[in-house]
Amino acid sequence: MFTSNPFAELSASISPAIMQTYVVVMIILVAAGTLFDIVHKGSAKYFFENWRNSKSKASRQLGGGQLALLAIQTGLVEVLTSAEFCNARRRIAHLLTMYGFLAYVIATAIMVFGYPTPATPTPAILPQLWWIGGLMVCLGGYWFWFFIRVDVAAEGNTPFRIVRADLFILSLLASATAGLIWAYLQARGSSWASAFLGLYLIATTVLFGSVPWSKFSHMFFKPAAAFEKRISNANGFRSNLPPPADKPEQFGSARRQPRHY
Ligand code: HEM
């Protein structure tokens, strides 16, 4: 089961062309949703306004080489190690979720496009990455959902209280959970496999189709904000400007933002 390509098995009932078209549509939805988010929330306008502001009030001007170094540092520290999280448990949960998600979606795309049918044997590492990625999303995501997130851990709310801000984490967890259960049931030849395939497709479509209304696009905004913060530190102007009043949050969250993650 862990070394067999679940999408190649699925090609017996759904043509690879349909699976590949679905993946392409999901990529387009994420790109269009993120662009809509940027325009609708004015995130790019806010980002460049802040950059211009910090540049005009900077005590040191940074050259291209320094900016490139700051971009590399942001990538290596804030992005790859989730360094913005001061809380160790939250940081580990985020690293599990983030790397799990990346392994899960990259392995899916390679298997659907590179090895669409059993005719082309799939290298075992790909289904293994897919299973490990899905399990890491579940481990980090359920840990965060039931034990770490602010409104449960700090405010004592029940984990079953759901607000719109939970759209991203819940659709991510539903997609990974239903996907793993579908692959397990398909491998066992269970008649329940198609029901979970349906749940898997619904959850995955919500995950990638709801970008303008969920926290999905934070994975693009947060690195930009971290980079901007590094620039403001390096050029001597430390911007603590609050986000624009009419758009209090960078993504459509109703949940209160912790000052420190
Ligand atoms: C690439 C895939 C990524 C995934 C799957 C992911 C997943 C998540 C999840 C599930 C949350 C909790 C959302 C919630 O509060 O409901 C979150 C929050 C957060 N993520 Fe990510 N993330 C990713 C990338 C990134 C990147 C690249 C950064 C920064 C450089 C980042 C920084 C953060 C921060 C600071 C929060 C806390 C936001 C808050 O509480 O408002 N994430 N992420």
Q: Which tens digits make up the pLDDT trace of 27-65? A: 999 999 999 988 887 777 777 787 788 888 888 888 999
Q: Reply yes or no on whether the pLDDT at 109 is more than 90.
A: yes
What is the reported pLDDT for 260?
Answer: 52
Report the helix count and the strand count for the chain, using DSSP H and E: 10, 0
Q: Reply yes or no on whether the pLDDT at 206 is more than 50.
A: yes
92-107 pLDDT, tens digit each: 999 999 999 999 999 9
Q: Reply yes or no on whether the pLDDT at 254 is more than 50.
A: no
Atom of ligand 1 lying closest to residue 97 CA = 5
Atom of ligand 1 lying closest to residue 141 CA = 10
Residue 164 carries which side chain, given as an amino acid letter?
R
Q: Mean pLDDT over all residues of the chain? A: 89
Estimate to the nearest angstrom the gap between the alpha carbon of 150 and the chain centroid. Answer: 19
* pLDDT: which is higher, 171 or 245: 171
What is the reported pLDDT for 138?
Answer: 98
Residue 154 carries which side chain, given as an amino acid letter?
A
Query: Would you kindly state where each structural domain of the chain is located, as residue ranges?
Result: 6-236
Tell me how far the alpha carbon of residue 218 lies from the centroid of ligand 1, in angstroms: 6
C-alpha distances out from residue 40 to 2, 26, 180, Å: 42, 20, 35
214-244 pLDDT, tens digit each: 999 999 989 998 999 999 999 888 655 544 4
Q: Reply yes or no on whether the pLDDT at 151 is more than 90.
A: no
Tell me how far the alpha carbon of residue 217 lies from the centroid of ligand 1, in angstroms: 9
Tell me how far the alpha carbon of residue 225 lies from the centroid of ligand 1, in angstroms: 13
- The two tokens of residue 71 are 């971009």
Compute φ and ψ for 62, nearest 5 degrees. Answer: -100, 140
Q: Reply yes or no on whether the pLDDT at 257 is more than 70.
A: no
* pLDDT: which is higher, 137 or 56: 137
DSSP codes of every residue in 106-121: HHHHHHHHH--STTSP
Ligand 1 lined by 219 (C-beta under 6 Å): yes
DSSP codes of every residue in 183-195: HHHHHTT-TTHHH
What is the C-alpha separation between 180 and 132, in angstroms, rounded?
A: 10
Residue labelled with tokens 């329940």:
192
Q: Would you place residue 252 in the very low, low, confident or very high pLDDT band (cuts 50, 70, 90)?
A: very low
As a whole number of Å, the end-to-end CA separation of the chain is 38
Burial of residue 200 (CB within 10 Å: 0-12, 13-18, 19+) is buried
- Residue 75 · residue 82 · CB < 8 Å: no
Ligand 1 lined by 79 (C-beta under 6 Å): yes
Atom of ligand 1 lying closest to residue 258 CA = 40
Question: In terms of C-beta distances under 8 Å and separation of at least 24 residues, what long-range contacts does 67-71 make, across chains too?
Answer: 67/231, 70/227, 70/230, 70/231, 70/234, 71/227
Q: Model-level pTM?
A: 0.88
